[in-house]
Amino acid sequence: MATRSIIAKIEAKGIGDADDTIKAIYCHSDGYLEHTGKILDQHYQDEEKVDELLAQGDLSIIDENIGEKIKFNDFKSRITNKQCLFYARDRGEKYKQAEQLEDESALLKHAFEYYDVNVVYMYAYGSWYVYDNSNAIGNSSYQFIELEEALYNVLA
């Protein structure tokens, strides 16, 4: 069974600006903190790389590198290159650009009602945050918390 997640980024006009929007893509597999969370924290701190990830659209699984087009079922190349596997680029599905959402409430509604995800990751103002719908990180207040804190709680 897949652990579905959403990976998003606030497109900031200014800190806390009312015109900020959110871009979001769907990630089908291994969305749990120990995989997707750890990879985002360690390999996607650069805003340009986050933008490049989102520009590819929905993905099957994230890895350290964006990578280049490979056959969707070429697991050996994907593992060897530690690269993401995208539905449009690698599987040949119709390209679906990142969803444009107006705020965090719209992001969470999109994530939980449309995709029924377990975890939402959001890059905002140079840092990663996580919202875990399963309460696996021990955060019963159900709000975004810093990804590093969540990883510490899970991996410690």
Taking only the tens place, the pLDDT of each residue in 81-129 is 999 999 999 999 999 899 999 999 999 999 999 999 999 999 999 999 9
Closest CA to 5 of 47, 35, 49: 35
pLDDT of the residue at 119: 93
pLDDT of the residue at 143: 84
Distance CA 119, CA 92 (A): 26
Q: Which residues of 125-134 are buried (b: 16+ CB within 10 A; e: fewer)?
A: eeebbbbbee
For the entire predicted model, the pTM comes to 0.90
Q: Considering the chain, what is the average pLDDT of its residues?
A: 88
CA distances from 24 to 40, 69, 77, 98 (A): 14, 21, 27, 5
**What token pair was written down for 68?**
């280049």
